[in-house]
A and B are shown apart, each in its own frame.
Chain A
């Protein structure tokens, strides 16, 4: 771990780090049963490093929770488990497939993306464990609904976000009070951009799942997006089977975001280490979500809509 204070002014990464630590400690100080959402992705890996800086030599004052759609990249799931074990922290996994078995998640058709259904499983986990706060790695630069969300975001009993009725948030005086059944979502890296995240990963020497780095992968082109096909799942099945008439290309790609396989597309890249990714991020011409999130393209307001329904 490094800390670079230049003269008396904090570097931008030090400032962002200090703010995130402060936010995590406010969650720990104000809430009685918080949890940290950890997917194995780069943003949540930053959260874990920030939690180490906030709470070591103590244990984290919260367990880690992953909502697994069952359609995640094996490499990421393996990395998730490895990282939680290295830290010696408790990892809880709740599965969208269990919600499907219970009948609380009903897919419109077998191939429907399970991404938005994570909200149901998340709310079930919140109820099961009685969590009063969830710490997440969402950033305001990702999407315009997020640009207007508070760092401490209040959700009602149904997990709903009401953009017109948010609590005023001033200075760094956060209000995490809630009644039983209600919930606070706290976003310590709200003020970070994709570039900040990569610079922090570089500075801290954080390890990442291998699929963030350039690798050869069978893909097809669908509606202008690169879509990985025949992706092996932990269950042994293959996700995204190739459709008739599609031509499989073996392409050098990396992922900028990692989520449910059905809605995360890679970008063409030969950046095989963090330094190259930082440079590529500095010169890219496409936004992170624009390039890679198939779910945000369905409608201009789809993130706003999902958040109103309890999504992170």
Chain B
């Protein structure tokens, strides 16, 4: 007789897909969020307004709705027929960009304005001051917030099962259907997510300790 345990490798394979969703979403979110934060802190009024609208939208709409809106609506309308994985990564990334912009903005605003002025008095241009003085501090201060974002996006990635991405939860549901045994598969999936949540957070904290600089305290 086939038991749930026979399906374990099948579920475990989903970890790679889950990590793909998380890694892709986090990186895209970083690539979007950091420039947005710079624009929000140092940009003109129009730029600030645009960033605010972007962050507001992606932080005020459920991921579920975004996934359906982009997968069935926006991407096809733009002429892209994306596979579920790519679409999910893009949506997770757009959304995380909204959240990450707020993490980086908070970090940036916690850096004293005097340092920026001091950089300018040395003859640095605006962009040199941002690049050499503001950003290195921002990134370190933002690490705890970033660890938090990892945990959030990891847990949200499970929602991508609605598009059929072959991540942990999708596979778990297939196993439930095949074995008609819901308890164990869901517990396995839950255990995997807990492991990934706390393991990943721990890892980021190690990086944080390694890059620690006296006087630069990170904030959630």
* B is a partner of A: no
Q: Which residues of B contact A (CB under 8 A)?
A: none
